[in-house]
Amino acid sequence: MHSLRITVIQDAPEPRNPAANLARIIEQLRRGDADLVVFPELFVTGYQTGGLPELALSPNDPLIRTVAAACRETSTAVLAGFIEPANHGFYDAYLAIDRDGTIHDPIRKTHLFGNERAAFLPGDHLAPVTLCGTKIGVINCFELEFPEVARTHVLRGAELLIAGSANMHPYELDHRIAATARALENRVPLAYANRVGKESGHHFCGSSRVISANGETLAALGTAESAEISATVDTGRATSGPTNMLAQRRPELYA
């Protein structure tokens, strides 16, 4: 177990302008003091489900390599939502770059919401990614409402959960409760980054927060403000005492 300082960005991206939004990510990296900076779902493009070919970026795109250089320069890792091209479509995915500039395989959203199902392919696996020497389970928006996603990440070694979102009204309460529940039931800290503003007919509802492994809210934002919060969390599961949930599971009953 070790401490990790996380900055959560709650903001509205510029719709359909990856270059501008990636520049904002670089600016944040250069002026912050976090180990890990987390941006909302699809922050690189805005919440778009049409005209995807001109928005999608491969992980080795020069624009993304510029972000990787900024991560290396500032010794800061980043998680940011983007659109990844594939052979037969596109993924709603998370860009994961470590503090040394290593670009990891994109983390693809496995549970798609509403019109996303017509626009994106679903990811087909769940696995933690290692950033800052910490195994992190990345949860993408609607996935937060499935306890199995977070639990699978933790069973596979995740010491920290990061949930990025483009959650909209009227579902603010759903995610606020779910974020605390996922942290508490797995006894790991969770950082939740949701966007604000209006786009594509949706009104996004913020409420970004950082939650401890005991379910305590360490820092939180409101539903409309463009702002950031930072908190230092102790990564790893709280495994002592009668609340060690994983040690008391009975998987033979759950199938």
- Given a contact cutoff of 8 angstroms between Cβ atoms, the answer to whether 80 and 25 are in contact is yes
Distance separating alpha carbons of residues 202 and 185, to the nearest angstrom: 30
Distance separating alpha carbons of residues 15 and 204, to the nearest angstrom: 14
Q: Which of 71, 109, 116, 143 is catalytic?
A: 109
Distance separating alpha carbons of residues 235 and 32, to the nearest angstrom: 20
Give the residue among 131, 124, 98 at the shortest CA–CA distance from 109: 124
Helix 147-155 to helix 172-186 angle, to the nearest 10 degrees?
30
Instruction: Spell out where 1-133 has E strands.
Output: 3-10, 36-38, 77-86, 89-97, 107-108, 129-131
Instruction: Spell out where 112-247 has E strands.
Output: 129-131, 134-140, 160-165, 190-194, 196-199, 202-205, 209-211, 217-220, 227-234
Sequence letter at residue 24? R
User: Would residue 109 show up in a list of annotated catalytic residues for this protein?
Assistant: yes
Q: Which of 116, 132, 135, 141 is catalytic?
A: 141
User: Would residue 141 show up in a list of annotated catalytic residues for this protein?
Assistant: yes
**Terminus-to-terminus CA distance in the chain, angstroms?**
32
Report the 10 Å Cβ neighbour count for 239: 13
Query: Phi and psi dihedrals of 168, rounded to 5?
Result: -125, 165
Give the residue numbers marked as catalytic.
41, 109, 141
